[in-house]
Amino acid sequence: MFRIKAVVSPTFIESLALIVAIIAAISISITQLGAVPHLPILGSILLLFGYGLLKKVPYRKLERGLVEGAGAGMSAVFLFFFIGMLISSWMMSGTIPTLIYAGFQLITPQFFFAIVFVITAIVGISIGSSLTTVATVGVAFMGMATVLDVSMAVTAGAIVSGAFFGDKMSPLSDTTNLASSIVGVDLFEHIRNMGWTTYPAFAISLLIFGFLSPNVSQGEVEQITFFQEGLLKTGMIHWYTVIPLLVLFVLTILKVPALMTLALSSISAVLISFFHQSFTASQVMDILFNGFASTTGIEDVDKLISGGGLQSMFFTIGLVLLALSMGGLLFTLGIVQCLLAKIESLLKKVSSVIAASALTAIGINVLIGEQYLSILLTGQAFQSQYEKVGLTGKNLSRVMEDAGTVVNPLVPWSVCGIFITSVLGVATLDYLPFAFFCLLSPILTVLFGFTGKTLTYRTGHTDKK
């Protein structure tokens, strides 16, 4: 994106005014009017077109900037298509139901909060969606917390922490795919690199949740058997259903490109499904496009193991293309370059570049309340700065997730914050102090930036803290 050349040199005041207007429009539309982010972004694109025409920029050049910006996200678009098919194929094969069932087996009478954290993390990785995890397993755990008379705020914090750990580290997650694609990093290399900050945050969070956990009786905990029995009714809980997961792991270790890895894992899942299902060819095609629909008759279980398909990715793909198109215009009109030039002198050290990019991702979450935009805009704005200080792209993609993806649920007026509060019945500011994983991730990423630990440099560059 940063390779798009500016065709005009705006003043700092003009650039700042346009950015403030865009942020205000998007923020108000999402938080006050309840609009999907696509509409205010489309309005912002029209605003930038109007500014460009006032500056006598030819329409064709503006259009070219728009197209070049969208083109930067085409690799992400194709990954999203395959992610949608992978999720639906893993649903129909029983891979995801089996992983969730195995997670429920971990329940014990002790360490309730720690177990909630671990199980929601497992489910989150299995389905690649933090909000789906919260709305299904999370709701079940909140019901258990009510019966057990334990802290609702801490339980919600454990649910949010686990769900967003899973979302962040899952190859099925749209934000994980987006962060890797936006800076041109292989999906699985991105996930491996995130481990340097993510696993310490997970371990520290687990210890804290374990320390805070009360002891409850075995009889009360066994309510979770409701979910297990429902999963067994699907007839999809078998040892061989984990084969698609093994295919994914093996191909990842062999460093097969992400697109091919996802495709081959999906094919293996479809083949596995015929061991216990009797799908026709047309039904398989329908599931891969529209998603899998569970029919156990148990609403919570059906909600948990239904979804996926190409169609489920259209919302995200539309948002990605619109946001990248807006980014292309911001670069074509020289607005991003102008703002970065103002702070250029402050961004000559590795530590300051990482801190600035993390604060930008957090700031976009706070101001706009949209995690996709926090990833997209931060990635677009700081790619060139990371290159200048000799850092590889996977350092930026890690920061985008550490300070972008997991921060969104901590903002009361954000998309995730509003959703989680409405589903769990706990105010964002109440569970915020206990969402330890989400709080630790941005702290660790900035800390490692200052120490220089776990950073990867381009060939020929030396450490410049």
Residues across the chain? 465
pLDDT bracket for residue 109 (50, 70, 90): low
Among the residue ranges 54-58, 77-81, 191-195, 424-428, the one predicted with the least confidence is 77-81
What average pLDDT does this structure show over 166-193? 87
The DSSP annotation for 74-113 comes to HHHHHHHHHHHHHHHHHHHHTHHHHHHHHHHTT--SS-HH
Rounded CA-CA distance 366/411 in Å is 6
Burial class (CB in 10 A: 0-12, 13-18, 19+), 96: buried
pLDDT bracket for residue 215 (50, 70, 90): low
- Give the residue carrying structure tokens 């956990």: 213
The single-letter DSSP state of residue 6 is P
The answer to whether residue 116 scores a pLDDT higher than 60 is: yes
Rounded CA-CA distance 62/57 in Å is 7
Domain ranges of the chain: 75-313
Q: Report helix, strand and coil shares of the chain as percent, to nearest 5.
A: 75, 0, 25
Nearest 5°: phi and psi at 149? 60, 45
The DSSP annotation for 413-437 comes to TSHHHHHHHHHH---HHHHGGG-HH
The one-letter code for the residue type at 319 is L
The answer to whether residue 132 scores a pLDDT higher than 80 is: no
The single-letter DSSP state of residue 334 is T
Burial class (CB in 10 A: 0-12, 13-18, 19+), 457: middle
- Give the residue carrying structure tokens 């040199």: 9
Among the residue ranges 19-28, 34-43, 214-223, 454-463, the one predicted with the least confidence is 214-223
CA–chain centroid gap for 21, Å, is 26
Q: Is 278 helix (H, G, I), strand (E, B) or coil?
A: coil
Rounded CA-CA distance 265/247 in Å is 6
The answer to whether residue 234 scores a pLDDT higher than 60 is: yes
* Residue whose C-alpha is closest to residue 269's, from 257, 284, 281: 284
Task: Read off the pTM.
Answer: 0.69
* Residue whose C-alpha is closest to residue 365's, from 338, 402, 328: 402
pLDDT in tens, 339-352: 777 776 667 788 88
Nearest 5°: phi and psi at 5? -85, 140
Give the pLDDT confidence score for residue 1 in this predicted structure: 47
Give the pLDDT confidence score for residue 327 in this predicted structure: 79
The four Cα atoms 302, 308, 314, 319 give a dihedral, to 10 degrees, of 90
- Give the residue carrying structure tokens 């678009």: 77
* Residue whose C-alpha is closest to residue 434's, from 137, 205, 168, 144: 205
| Contact indicator for 269, 92 with CB cutoff of 8 Å | yes
Give the pLDDT confidence score for residue 455 in this predicted structure: 85
2 against 102, higher pLDDT: 102
pLDDT in tens, 36-65: 778 888 998 999 999 999 989 899 989 898
Q: Is 32 helix (H, G, I), strand (E, B) or coil?
A: coil
- Give the residue carrying structure tokens 């409850």: 216
What average pLDDT does this structure show over 428-450? 92
Give the pLDDT confidence score for residue 345 in this predicted structure: 61
Helices (H), ranges, 254-370:
258-273, 281-290, 299-304, 314-332, 335-342, 350-368
Burial class (CB in 10 A: 0-12, 13-18, 19+), 81: middle
Give the pLDDT confidence score for residue 434 in this predicted structure: 95
Burial class (CB in 10 A: 0-12, 13-18, 19+), 42: middle
**Helices (runs of H) and strands (runs of E) counted in the chain:** 25, 0
pLDDT, the chain, mean: 83
Tokens of 393: 């792209």
Tokens of 83: 């992610």
Give the pLDDT confidence score for residue 225 in this predicted structure: 74
pLDDT bracket for residue 81 (50, 70, 90): confident
The DSSP annotation for 45-60 comes to HHHHHHHHHHTT--HH
